[in-house]
Structures are given as C-alpha cells and as structure tokens.
Amino acid sequence: MLELKHIQKSFDGKPVLKDISIQVEEGEIVSILGPSGCGKTTLLNLILGIIKADSGEILYNGEDLTDVFMEKRGFNIVFQDYALFPNLNVFKNITYGLKNRPEISSRKEVEELIDLLGLREHLDKNIEQLSGGQKQRVALARTMVMKPRILLLDEPLSALDGVIKESIKDRIKTIAREYHLTTIIVTHDPEEALTLSDRVLIINQGTVSQYAPPENIIHAPKNEFVRKFILNQLEIKRNNIYALFGNRVTAETQAV
Ligand SMILES: Nc1ncnc2c1ncn2[C@@H]1O[C@H](COP(=O)(O)OP(=O)(O)OP(=O)(O)O)[C@@H](O)[C@H]1O
C-alpha cells in the first residue's frame, strides 16, 4: 500500500499542494483528476521521487520513502511524450533498460508482454514508423519489463483518439489486473478517470476535494466543486452532442 500523509509543496513561495493525504491499495488503479495547474503532475513527480515535498510523508508498505532517491523507490513512469529512443527499433526500445539489469525480466516474460500489448508485428520498425497508440504501447512495454512496484502514467491517453483510446484504456486495465500492479494515472478528463480507475482523486485548490470510487463520485459528489467541475463537464459534453445530432437521429430513426 502507498500512503501519502499531509503532503505540501510550494513553488517560489506559492502553495500548489496544501495538504494531500491518500492511501492506494496494492493493485489499485487510481486517477488524479483536476483543473489545469492544480498540481496533478507535481503530485506524480513527488511519488516518483523527482521532486521533494516541503513537508509530509510518503510510505510504501510501511517503509518511509520520503527521503529515498527515485532510483531506489522502484516506481516507474511513462511520460506524456513517451520519451522513446528514435534511433533504436521497437524491440531495442522495449528491452533497453534490461541491458544493464537482465535479471529483472526473462526472455519469456518479455515475449509475453510483447504479445499482451500487440507489438509483435512492429518489433523491427523504427519509432517514427509508429502511430501514437503504438508508441504509447511501446512506452508501456519498456516500463513494464522493468517490473516497477508502482506504474505512474502522465496523461497516457491525451494524444489518442476514439477506438485507439479505448483499446489503450483496456490494455492499461488488463496489465494492472494481470500483474496486480498499482497504477496511478494523471488526467484532466473526467470521463477517462471515471471509466479507467478503481478510485479517483479529485484535487482542487491544493487539497483533496474527493477521493472515492467512480460510482460514489457520480452518485454522491461530495461538494459543489465535484458537481460543477466534474459532473457538469460530462453533462455539457453529452448535451453538446445531443444538441447537434439529437433531433436528426430521431428524425432518421422515425423515417426508417
Ligand atoms: N518546477 C517548477 N517551478 C515552478 N513552478 C512550478 C514547477 N512545476 C510546477 N509549477 C507550478 O505548479 C503548478 C502546478 O503545476 P502542475 O504541472 O503540477 O499542474 P497540473 O495539474 O499537472 O497541470 P496541467 O493539467 O495543466 O498539466 C502550476 O502553477 C505550475 O506553474
């Protein structure tokens, strides 16, 4: 279990995270959701260990990681821009981290992951020959072969659309379930957070606005912010679509 206790972080004297306390169970998928600039990426970086909190504690299975360096925490992140090596092919990108630490994953485990993520037919390709969704899957595979204790994803679906988005969403869920991997995802999209996660952390003004399973957020929003920011956004999306096409669909349906 990952525990954050009273995390505070300011930049240049301006508080970004004022008091964040949450617990993430082993194998859980948690989304961090909130408006632009609310501190989502900052919180992810604090968990990863790239930056340090001003105060508060980070514990993993009871071990205090607050002052432990990033490399020693054993967490791993897939960055928003994937950060793949353009001069290496897909297979070499996936296995890059194993060069110095081959004991982490066996050849069989690497092969299983390649199949799970549907990458077998792309192994010899260069990175620039891949679509956004394929790059995303390579980035996921590259991170997964290193067997992180926690998988961190920064806006993993933001560059993807439609069917590809749904398929990556399913693969993230499958990986989290199959590997019983604690997964923490930053997103600004309420639909993504609510459909992908076991629990959603909603941050507003540096504090936890609500931290609950998606069904609770939908059926029992804890405050005005959750109602307005999260649920209204979904309602507006829906209404926009129906305002555009609702009548026409009905007319055509009736004509048939
Ligand atoms: N290294 C830094 N130095 C100074 N200010 C920073 C730094 N990193 C983040 N900030 C500030 O902290 C605030 C939160 O940034 P953060 O990137 O965590 O927000 P976010 O919720 O991920 O935003 P977005 O959804 O737009 O990506 C912003 O006001 C940002 O300008």
Report ipTM (2 d.p.): 0.97
Q: How far apart are CA 149 and CA 154, in angstroms?
A: 17
Mean per-residue pLDDT for 128-149? 89
Same domain, 114 and 137: yes
| Per-residue pLDDT at 232 | 80
| Cβ of residue 203 lying under 6 Å from some atom of ligand 1 | no
User: Percentage of residues in the chain with pLDDT exceeding 70?
Assistant: 95
Give the distance from CA 62 to its chain's centroid.
23
Query: 3-class SS at 104?
Result: coil
18, 42: one domain: yes
- Report the atom number in ligand 1 closest to the C-alpha of 34: 21
Evaluate if residue 172 carries a pLDDT over 90. Answer: no
Q: Residues 112, 28: one domain?
A: no
- Would you say the CB of residue 9 lies under 6 angstroms from ligand 1? no
Q: Which of 108, 123, 146 is the C-terminal boundary of a domain? A: 146
CA-nearest residue for atom 9, ligand 1, is 42
- Say yes or no to pLDDT of 193 above 80: yes
Instruction: List, for residues 35-89, the tens digit of each pLDDT value.
Output: 889 999 999 999 999 999 999 999 999 999 998 988 888 898 888 777 899 999 9
What is the pLDDT at residue 71? 84
249 lies in a domain? no
In this prediction, residue 250 carries a pLDDT of 55
User: Which neighbouring-strand residues pair with 76?
Assistant: 151
**Who has greater pLDDT, 230 or 8?**
8
Asked if 69 and 51 touch (Cβ cutoff 8 Å), the reply is no
Query: Encoding tokens for residue 166?
Result: 């749904």
Q: Do 32 and 59 sit in the same domain of this protein?
A: yes
Q: Which atom of ligand 1 is nearest to the CA of 45?
A: 18
Q: Are strands 182-187 and 63-64 parallel, antiparallel or unpaired?
A: unpaired
Pocket test for ligand 1, best of 38, 50, 51, 154 (most atoms within 8 A of CB): 38
Question: Does residue 245 register a pLDDT over 80?
Answer: no
Residues 187 and 204 in one domain: yes
* Ligand 1 atom 31: residue of nearest CA: 37
Q: Give the residue whose CA is nearest to atom 5 of ligand 1.
A: 11
Candidate of 40, 158, 201 to mutate for ligand 1, largest count of ligand atoms within 8 Å of Cβ: 40
Residue 81 domain flag: no
- How much is the pLDDT for 253? 54
What would the 3-class secondary structure string for 143-164 be? HHCCCCCEEEEECCCCCCCHHH
Residues 18 and 55 in one domain: yes
Check pLDDT > 80 for residue 11.
yes
Question: Ligand 1 centroid to 114 CA: how many Å?
Answer: 34
Q: Are 160 and 205 in a shared domain? A: yes
130 and 153 belong to one structural domain: no
CB 5 within 8 A of CB 62: no
Structural domain boundaries enclosing 23: 2-74+148-218
Assign 169 a pLDDT band (cuts: 50, 70, 90): confident
**Do 113 and 13 belong to one domain?**
no
Task: Identify the DSSP state of 89.
Answer: B
Residues 203 and 140 in one domain: no
Looking at the structure, tell me whether residues 141 and 159 fall in a common domain: no
Q: Which residues contact 256 (CB under 8 A, 6 or more apart)?
A: none
Q: For all residues of the chain together, what is the average pLDDT?
A: 89
Q: Whose CA is nearest to atom 1 of ligand 1?
A: 11
Residue 186 CA: nearest ligand 1 atom is 22
Please tell me whether residues 153 and 212 are part of one structural domain.
Answer: yes
Give the nearest ligand 1 atom to 12 CA: 4
